Structure formats: structure tokens, C-alpha cells
Chain A
Amino acid sequence: DAKTTQPNSMESNEEEPVHLPCNHSTISGTDYIHWYRQLPSQGPEYVIHGLTSNVNNRMASLAIAEDRKSSTLILHRATLRDAAVYYCILRDGQTGANNLFFGTGTRLTVIP
């Protein structure tokens, strides 16, 4: 699976929007962009995923650059519960098993 690059850590004030960047310059045409997060002492949790178009769900929005070499996870209003490690993961849509390979992610701190 192609590699992603994320900042090690970010901070945000509570109730403000958060933009978490991810670079994936070697992405292939069949790679899906997945975001998961891991709250303290919990298993990873699905956030959102997309291929080419921007995506919205109740948790977040995913903005994908036109050349697909980068993407941004947007939390519209950060809450204390959003403090977690956020993982940007590429998954090849052509493979069968839907395995995910985690990197080190971005640790988001939310300041009250």
C-alpha cells in the first residue's frame, strides 16, 4: 500500500474547526483514502473514506485535492471527545481482503 505522511501532532481549540492534512504523493488511481481515529484506550474507529470526490458524513468531511496527492480531514467543530490519534490510510481498491495498514497518525489535542 502507498505511503501517507501526516504531522505528528496538532492542537485545536474546542468548538473551532480542525483541518488535518495528509500527503500521499504516490497514490495510485485505485487507492481509496481512509481516515480512522483512535481514542485513548480504545480500538480504531472509522471516520470517513473517499476516492476522488469530497465526502461528508455526520462525523467529518474529507476534502481530496484534484490531483489526489493530498487530502484533508475536516472536523467542523472540535469537541473534547475528538481528542485522538487520526490515521490517514490508503487502500488499493483492486485487492480482495480490505486490509488496512496503519501509520503513526496525527495526535490531535483539543484545548478547552
Chain B
Amino acid sequence: EPEVTQTPSHQVTQMGQEVILRCVPISNHLYFYWYRQILGQKVEFLVSFYNNEISEKSEIFDDQFSVERPDGSNFTLKIRSTKLEDSAMYFCASSAWDGRVSNEKLFFGSGTQLSVL
């Protein structure tokens, strides 16, 4: 079955540094998402992306965060100046959502563990 791939699996950075988390969504999918999960807490929605623009974003997704689809295959999450509280597992997801119930499901990657020191 096709899958969403994320790189790197682990990223360690110093506070204040910029990080870019990378994702390759499933090739025919149109919607892309980023979620995060702080250790021991629930999975939190960050942002959804469709047709080269942000569709919806949460309160967490402030000016420090940005997303981009730089080419036909990659989807990236950039954190401009990392803070200690950005340490979390970041999950990318994609969906073939086109309004039909049969295409509702989200496919998640295995995540990137970001550690901010």
C-alpha cells in the first residue's frame, strides 16, 4: 500500500535555530496536513494545505511556522526559530479527499521526532 514518508526520523536542534521537516505525501493525494504530538499528550492539528495554500490552521500554527510544497512531491514544515516547547513528534498526513466519503481517510507518516535543546 502507498505510504507517506517523513525525513528525518529524528532531528536535534538548538533553541533559536530554524528546522525544516520533510514529507513525501502519497502521489495522487490533494490534501496535506501537519500534526504534532508532545510526549504523553494527544495528537494536535497544526495545518491543512490544498491547492498550494493553507486551508485551515490551528492556534498553535503561529508566525514561527510555515508550510510549503516546493515541488510536485515534497511537503515541508518550517519552524523559523525553535523553542524548547516545540519538542514533539511531528506527523505529516495526506488525503485523497475530494468530497466523497470513500476518500475521507487520512494517511499518516511515521513522524519526525524533534528535540530542541
Point out residues on A near B: beta carbons under 8 Å.
32, 34, 36, 38, 42-46, 49, 51, 87, 91, 93, 96-105
9 CB < 8 A contacts A-B: A38-B43, A42-B110, A43-B93, A44-B43, A49-B105, A98-B104, A98-B106, A99-B33, A101-B45
* Inter-chain CB contacts under 8 Å: number: 61
Beta-carbon contact of B95 and A98 below 8 Å: yes
Beta-carbon contact of A34 and B104 below 8 Å: yes
Point out residues on B near A: beta carbons under 8 Å.
4, 31, 33, 35, 42-45, 48, 50, 55-56, 91, 93, 95, 97, 101, 104-111
Q: CA A91 – CA B55 in complex, angstroms?
A: 16
B80 to chain A, nearest CB (A): 23
**Chain B contacts of A87 at CB under 8 A?**
43
Main secondary structure of the interface of A (DSSP, over half): loop
**Chain B contacts of A43 at CB under 8 A?**
4, 91, 93, 108-111
- Residue ID in chain B nearest A93 by CB atoms: B101
Q: CA A32 – CA B105 in complex, angstroms?
A: 11
* Contacts A32-B101, A43-B110, A98-B97 supplied; 15 other A-B pairs, CB < 8 Å: A38-B43, A42-B111, A43-B111, A44-B43, A46-B105, A46-B106, A49-B101, A49-B104, A97-B55, A98-B95, A99-B45, A100-B106, A102-B42, A102-B43, A105-B42
